[in-house]
Amino acid sequence: MFSVIAIAQVRVTGVVKDTEGLTMPGVTVAIKGTTNAVSTTNDGKFTIDAPASGTLRFSFIGYETKEIAIDGKTDLTVVMTAASKALNEVVVVGYGTQKKVNLTGAVSVVSAAQLENRPVTGVTNALQGTVPGVTITSNNGQPGFDAGSINIRGQSLNSTPVLVVIDGVISSTGDMNAINADDIDNISVLKDAASASIYGNRAAGGVIVITTKKGKKGTAQITYSNYFGKNKAVALPDYLPSWQAATMYDEARANEGKTAVYTDDQIQKFKDGSDPFNYPNTDWLKLFYSGNGFQQNHYVGVNGGSDKTTYAISIGYFDENGITPKTNTQRYTGRLNLNTQVKDNLSVFGYLSYTYQPLTEPQSSLSADQGFDQVIRQFNRISPIIPAYYQNGQYGHIADGSPLAWLNSPSFDNRKSYNFQGSFGADWEIFKGLHFKPSLNYKLNSNQNDNFVSAIQYYSPDGSVSGVPNISNATDSYGRHTYVAPQALLEYGTKIVDHSIKVLAGASQEYNSYYNLSGYRQGFLNNSLSNLDAAPTTGQTTSNNTYDVAQRSFFGRVNYDYKGKYLLEGDIRDDGSSRFAPANRWGVFPGASAGWRVSEEDFFKNLKSTVSNLKLRASWGKLGNQDLVNINNTDAEINAAYYPAIATVGSGLNYPFGGTVVGGVAPTTGVDPAIVWEKTTQTDLGLDADFLNVFSFTADYFIKKTSDVLYQVTLPATYGLTAPYVNGSTYQNKGWEVALTYHDKAGDFSWNVTGNAAFIKNKVTQLGTTNAPQISGATIKEVGQPQGSFYGYQAEGIFQNAAQVSAHASQTGISPNTAPGDIIYKDQNGDNKIDASDRVVLGSRFPKVTFGLNLNVNWKQFDLTGFFQGAAGVKNYISGIALGSNGIATGKPTSAMLDSWSTTNTGASFPRLWLTYTQNDPSSTYSSFWIRNASYVRLKNVQFGYSLPAAWAQKIGVKKLRVYYSGQNILTFTSFYKWIDPEAPQGENGYDFPQVKINSLGLNVTF
Mean residue pLDDT across the chain: 90
CA–CA separation, 106 and 602 (whole Å): 26
Confidence (pLDDT) at 633:
52
pTM for this predicted structure: 0.87
Q: Between the CA of residue 29 and those of 22, 57, 61, 390, what are the distances in Å?
A: 17, 6, 13, 91
Confidence (pLDDT) at 7:
60
Confidence (pLDDT) at 390:
95
Kindly state the percentage of the chain with pLDDT values over 90: 67
The dihedral built from the CA positions of residue 659, 664, 670 and 673, taken in this order, carries a sign that is: negative
- What confidence tens digit (pLDDT) does each residue in 33-77 have? 887 888 888 888 999 998 888 899 888 766 777 888 888 888 999
Residue 666 has pLDDT above 50, yes or no: yes
Phi-psi region of 180 (alpha: psi -120 to 50; beta: other; left: phi over 0): beta
In terms of C-beta density within 10 A (0-12 exposed, 13-18 middle, 19 or more buried), how is residue 565 classed? middle
What mean pLDDT is predicted for residues 268-273? Answer: 94
- What confidence tens digit (pLDDT) does each residue in 170-204 have? 998 888 888 898 999 999 999 999 999 999 998 99
The dihedral built from the CA positions of residue 373, 379, 380 and 382, taken in this order, carries a sign that is: positive
- What confidence tens digit (pLDDT) does each residue in 882-908 have? 999 999 999 899 999 999 999 999 989
Q: How confident is the model at residue 919 (pLDDT cuts 50, 70, 90)?
A: very high
CA–CA separation, 531 and 476 (whole Å): 9
Q: How confident is the model at residue 86 (pLDDT cuts 50, 70, 90)?
A: low
416 residue type, one letter: K
Residue 639 has pLDDT above 70, yes or no: no
Instruction: Look at 217-226, 263-272, 333-342 and tell me which has the smallest mean pLDDT.
Output: 217-226
Kindly state the percentage of the chain with pLDDT values over 70: 97
Phi then psi for residue 716, to 5 deg, are: -65, 160
Distance of CA 359 to the CA centre of its chain: 20
Phi-psi region of 243 (alpha: psi -120 to 50; beta: other; left: phi over 0): alpha
Q: What is the 3-state secondary structure (H, E, C) of 450-472?
A: EEEECCCCEECCCCCEECCCCCC
DSSP string, 118-167: ---SSHHHHHTTTSTTEEEE----STT--PPEEEESS--SS--PPEEEET
User: What are the residue ranges of helices labelled H in 769-888?
Assistant: 802-807, 880-883
Coil, helix or strand for 117? coil
User: CB neighbours (10 Å) of residue 461?
Assistant: 14
Of 778, 783, 712, the C-alpha closest to 928 is 778
In terms of C-beta density within 10 A (0-12 exposed, 13-18 middle, 19 or more buried), how is residue 438 classed? middle
What mean pLDDT is predicted for residues 114-130? Answer: 80
User: CB neighbours (10 Å) of residue 990?
Assistant: 22
Q: How confident is the model at residue 88 (pLDDT cuts 50, 70, 90)?
A: low
- What confidence tens digit (pLDDT) does each residue in 674-697 have? 888 889 999 999 999 999 889 999
What mean pLDDT is predicted for residues 443-461? Answer: 95
Confidence (pLDDT) at 634:
57
DSSP string, 623-677: EEE---S---S-HHHHHHHH-TTS--EES---EEETTEEE---EE-B---TT---
- 8 A C-beta contact, residue 483 and residue 511: yes
What per-residue string of b and e applies to 162-192 under the rule 16 or more CB within 10 Å gives b?
bbbbbbbbbbbbebbbbbbbbbbebbbbbbb
Of 182, 18, 192, 3, the C-alpha closest to 94 is 192
| Contacts with 577 (C-beta within 8 Å, 6 or more apart), sequence order | 201, 549, 550, 551, 585, 587, 626
Phi then psi for residue 396, to 5 deg, are: -70, 140
Confidence (pLDDT) at 5:
42
User: CB neighbours (10 Å) of residue 391?
Assistant: 11
Q: How confident is the model at residue 3 (pLDDT cuts 50, 70, 90)?
A: very low
User: CB neighbours (10 Å) of residue 903?
Assistant: 10
- What confidence tens digit (pLDDT) does each residue in 465-486 have? 998 999 999 999 999 999 999 9
Of 764, 916, 773, 909, the C-alpha closest to 836 is 773
Q: How confident is the model at residue 1001 (pLDDT cuts 50, 70, 90)?
A: very high
CA–CA separation, 605 and 810 (whole Å): 73
Phi then psi for residue 633, to 5 deg, are: 70, 20
Residue 17 has pLDDT above 70, yes or no: yes
Phi-psi region of 553 (alpha: psi -120 to 50; beta: other; left: phi over 0): beta
Q: How confident is the model at residue 1 (pLDDT cuts 50, 70, 90)?
A: very low
CA–CA separation, 406 and 376 (whole Å): 11
Confidence (pLDDT) at 62:
62
CA–CA separation, 384 and 381 (whole Å): 9
Q: Between the CA of residue 422 and those of 225, 351, 353, 485, what are the distances in Å?
A: 25, 6, 7, 11
CA–CA separation, 782 and 831 (whole Å): 23
Confidence (pLDDT) at 275:
93
What mean pLDDT is predicted for residues 727-734? Answer: 92
Confidence (pLDDT) at 149:
86
Residue 636 has pLDDT above 60, yes or no: no
Coil, helix or strand for 286? helix
Q: Please give the order of strands across the beta sheet that includes 779-781.
A: 774-776, 779-781, 789-792, 840-841
Confidence (pLDDT) at 807:
94
Instruction: Look at 145-149, 289-293, 754-758, 990-994 and tell me which has the smallest mean pLDDT.
Output: 145-149
- 8 A C-beta contact, residue 912 and residue 893: no
Confidence (pLDDT) at 83:
64
Confidence (pLDDT) at 6:
47
Q: What is the DSSP letter of 782?
A: -
Helix (H) or strand (E) holding 251: helix 242-255
Residue 220 has pLDDT above 60, yes or no: yes
User: What are the residue ranges of helices labelled H in 397-483?
Assistant: 403-408
Rounded-to-10 torsion of CA 127, 128, 130, 133: 110
Of 300, 329, 364, 271, the C-alpha closest to 141 is 329
In terms of C-beta density within 10 A (0-12 exposed, 13-18 middle, 19 or more buried), how is residue 657 classed? exposed
User: CB neighbours (10 Å) of residue 546?
Assistant: 11
DSSP string, 294-349: EEEEEEEEEEEE-SSEEEEEEEEEEEEE-SSTT-EEEEEEEEEEEEEEEETTEEEE
CA–CA separation, 75 and 276 (whole Å): 96
Confidence (pLDDT) at 965:
95
